[in-house]
């Protein structure tokens, strides 16, 4: 049997049933290639952490076959641990330690000699943009800084594979964006294969080359963000109707516009939104002039018209019939507003 390259992950028929009987992971298969940035996207309780813990040899699987960095989790957990970095949700940092000392100690724990450990600590602080606070106590750091430090602490031994369990949960938007930048650099500059779990659509979308969407312990979709969104089919055209004074008139205009749009062969769905209509079409570029002409010929005054692509929210919705709800996904008003326009939900 050929050995897998050091940075790859191969998961076959993985099942995890907890002692209480919960089937947390229900027969999943996936492969992550060397150097890839791979996302595991799913709501709370989907089985993300369970999967990651099994891959990181922190938890025993019920059945299936898992190799990480070329080693089987059952036969060679020690080799795997030497080749992976793990940042789980409940990480502990020593508030009293200085950042530089903390990282140096981590290096020593991983068997680096003192000068090497110090060199690596400096390098990592630089990588994560914390060189200027190297001599500050960790207790004085912001949440985002702690998360970054915690992240590089997993890198002291140059792991080939990095497991990150919801690394930005609980961070404010600015800190999340900063961390995203650093994650991209870790992937590019350290060449590490990264598996990241998240409940946040935008995070998976921005960071991951490929992802698996997991729900109730099963992978319901897999692919690049672009491919997954492409599968939803089509674009969404938002039409804002110039609003007359009376509510009755407004209503009549919208109803008229909607029934006109519904009759067009290139329209696959319509939904009423604030001040107008959302129309799902095969090809936004072709549909826009056609829709404009149609409405103008029928005396429906249009004040604005825009085209947007489906989001990962719509992908999740299509595959599960539900939406990932997560209060942390703060900046998603736009995505939420888009949803009914896709004809994928009644907005409920």
Smallest gap from residue 24 Cβ to ligand ADP (A)? 3
| Identity of the residue, 16 or 157, whose beta carbon is nearer to Mg ion in the bound complex | 16
Pick what 347 binds: ligand ADP, Mg ion, none; C-beta below 5 to 8 Å, kind-dependent: none
Closest CA to 115 of 126, 101, 104, 123: 104
Specify which residues 238 forms β-bridges with. 278, 306
Please tell me the distance from the alpha carbon of residue 49 to that of residue 200, in angstroms, as a whole number. Answer: 15
In the complex, the smallest distance separating the C-beta of residue 42 from Mg ion, rounded to whole angstroms, is: 9
* DSSP code of residue 90: S
46 contact choice in ligand ADP, Mg ion, none (CB below 5 to 8 Å, kind-dependent): ligand ADP
> Across 217-347, where does the E strand assignment appear?
218-223, 235-241, 267-273, 276-281, 302-308
What is the closest distance, in whole angstroms, from the C-beta atom of residue 33 to Mg ion in the complex? 24
- The pattern of x and - marking residues 30 through 69 that bind Mg ion according to CB under 5 A reads ------------------xx--------------------
Least Å from the CB of residue 282 to Mg ion: 38
Contact (Cβ atoms closer than 8 angstroms) between residue 209 and residue 307: no
- Residue 341 DSSP code: G
The entry of Mg ion, ligand ADP, none that residue 348 binds, CB within 5 to 8 Å by partner kind: none
Q: Is 324 helix (H, G, I), strand (E, B) or coil?
A: coil
Using CB under 6 A as the binding rule, whether residue 46 contacts ligand ADP is answered as yes
Read off φ and ψ for residue 230, nearest 5 degrees: -60, -30
Residue 44: name its binding partner from ligand ADP, Mg ion, none (Cβ under 5 to 8 Å by kind).
Answer: ligand ADP
Q: How many angstroms from the chain centroid is the CA of residue 176?
A: 12
Q: Could you tell me the end-to-end alpha-carbon distance of the chain, in angstroms, rounded to an integer?
A: 51
Taking the least distance from each CB to ligand ADP, the nearer of 45 and 321 is 45
- Residues near Mg ion (CB under 5 A) are 48-49
- Residues near ligand ADP (CB under 6 A) are 18, 20, 22, 24, 42, 44-50
């Amino acid at each position: 049997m050929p050995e897998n390259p050091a940075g790859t992950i191969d998961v076959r028929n993985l099942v995890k049933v907890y002692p209480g009987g919960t089937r947390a992971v229900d027969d999943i298969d996936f492969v992550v290639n060397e150097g890839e940035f791979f996302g595991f996207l799913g709501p709370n309780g989907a089985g993300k952490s369970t999967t990651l813990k099994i891959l990181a040899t922190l938890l025993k699987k019920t059945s299936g076959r898992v190799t990480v960095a070329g080693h089987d989790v059952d036969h060679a957990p020690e080799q795997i641990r030497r080749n992976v970095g793990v940042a789980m949700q409940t990480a502990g940092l020593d508030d009293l330690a200085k950042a530089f000392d903390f990282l140096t100690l981590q290096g020593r724990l991983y068997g680096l000699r003192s000068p090497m450990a110090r060199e690596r600590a400096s390098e990592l602080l630089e990588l994560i943009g914390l060189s200027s606070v190297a001599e500050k106590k960790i207790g004085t750091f912001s949440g985002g800084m702690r998360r970054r430090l915690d992240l590089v602490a997993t890198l002291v031994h140059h792991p080939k594979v990095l497991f990150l369990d919801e690394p930005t949960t609980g961070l404010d938007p600015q800190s999340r964006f900063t961390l995203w930048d650093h994650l991209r650099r870790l992937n590019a500059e350290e060449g590490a294969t990264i598996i990241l779990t998240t409940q946040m659509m935008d995070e998976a979308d921005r960071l991951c080359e490929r992802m698996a969407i997991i729900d109730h312990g099963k992978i319901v979709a897999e692919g690049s963000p672009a491919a997954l969104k492409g599968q939803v089919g089509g674009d969404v055209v938002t039409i804002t109707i110039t609003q007359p004074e009376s509510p009755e008139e407004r209503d009549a205009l919208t109803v008229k516009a909607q029934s006109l749009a519904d009759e067009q062969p290139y329209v696959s769905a319509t939904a009423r939104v604030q001040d107008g209509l959302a129309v799902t079409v095969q090809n936004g570029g072709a549909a826009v002039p056609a829709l404009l002409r149609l409405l103008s010929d029928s005396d429906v005054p249009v004040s604005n018209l825009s085209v947007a692509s489906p989001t990962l929210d719509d992908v999740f919705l299509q595959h599960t019939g539900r939406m990932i709800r997560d209060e942390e996904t703060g900046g998603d008003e736009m995505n939420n507003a888009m949803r009914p326009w896709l004809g994928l939900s009644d907005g409920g």
